[in-house]
Amino acid sequence: MNIVRRLLSNWLPVYAVLYVAFLYLPILLLPIFSINQSAVPQFPLTGYTMKWYAGLPNTPELLSSAWNSLIVGLSASIVSTILGICAARAITRYRFRGQRVASGLIMAPLVLPEIIVAVSMLLVLLQLGVGLSLFTVILGHILICIPYSVTVLISGFEGFDRSLEEASADLGESAWGTFRRVTLPMVAPAIISSLLVSFTISLDEFILAFFLSGTEPTLPVYIWGQLRFAAKLPSVLALGTLLLLASFMMLSIAEILRRRAARRAQNEGGVYA
């Protein structure tokens, strides 16, 4: 037993380091090669340059696809957050028949194979005669963003003491006034967090966008198109690095806000002397 324990205590840190390296090393290579002189991404490195970044703004297709991604991301995150507020409030506040089934179905897109969802949506849209455009991409992204929105928002609504809203009504405030003056400020951090998370998801999403975007590519679709040209690879790496940074920052802010919202809800409910 002792030997096993000693082996474990020696090897567990090594295992942990390997694990993390496996997860993050490939991602680390991205920024490294994006500032490498050579157009071929291989070691040894040939020298530092920012030219791949400098070239990005001079690519009109890149700019228009970034613009497309922005439109899709904003629309999808706003709509999925609004729908998510309704769902999260219903799930945390009320007890109704079929509640478990409903919340299960809301969460399902998290685990559905995205390619199946993409193909099915494409079939349905074509059957309905809806032409592919950014609008159809937005629809697809709303579908996959909702589970994330709902998860974030539920943690904002949970522990929200119902008597807070009753107290507001008791003090003369109308239902709408109560929502505006009590409910909204209390869950505001969760709402912002939900917007950021769904925006990030939408920004990175490829499969649905690839199937549903028609002639207006989003950033990931554009990047995929560029990969066919070896000479364009360094620009793609530079662009990828920027996307990575943006995602990382937005998700960090989102998590900080989510925790703040959860803490706020808990403090308030506390019955302590």
* 164 interacts with another protein by CB under 8 A: yes
271 binds another protein (CB under 8 A): yes
Q: Please identify, among the stretches 6-14, 49-57, 65-73, 158-166, the one whose residues bind another protein according to the rule CB under 8 A.
A: 158-166
Q: Tell me whether residue 212 or residue 265 sits nearer to another protein (CB atom).
A: 265
CA distances from 260 to 39, 86, 193, 268 (A): 45, 21, 10, 12
Size of the site for another protein (CB under 8 A): 25
Q: Which x/- pattern, by CB under 8 A, does the window 183-212 give for another protein?
A: --xx--------------------------
Q: Which of 21, 28, 50, 177 binds another protein (CB under 8 A)?
A: 177
User: What is d(CA 168, CA 172) in angstroms, rounded to the nearest whole number?
Assistant: 7
Cα(227)–Cα(52) distance, rounded to whole angstroms? 15
Binding flag, residue 268, another protein (CB under 8 A): yes
Subset of residues 43 to 62 that bind another protein, contact rule: CB under 8 A: none
Residues 255, 193: Cα–Cα separation, whole Å: 7
93 makes contact with another protein (CB under 8 A): no
How many CB atoms neighbour CB 156 within 10 A?
A: 29
CB contact at 8 A, 212 and 137: yes
What's the sign of the alpha-carbon dihedral 113, 257, 243, 22? negative
For position 260 contacting another protein by CB under 8 A, the verdict is no
CA distance 176 to 4: 63
Whose tokens are 């530079």? That residue is 238
Identified binder of another protein from the candidate list 169, 227, 230, 249, rule CB under 8 A: 169
Per CB under 8 A, does 256 bind another protein? no
Contact 230, 122 (CB under 8 A): no
* List 167, 230, 245, 249, residue binding another protein (CB under 8 A): 167
Rounded Cα gap, residues 136 and 113, in angstroms: 18
272 binds another protein (CB under 8 A): yes
What tokens were used for 58?
Answer: 């001079």
Stretch that binds another protein, among 34-42, 79-87, 173-181, 209-217 (CB under 8 A): 173-181
Binding site for another protein (CB under 8 A): 161, 163-164, 166-174, 177, 181-182, 185-186, 264-265, 267-269, 271-273
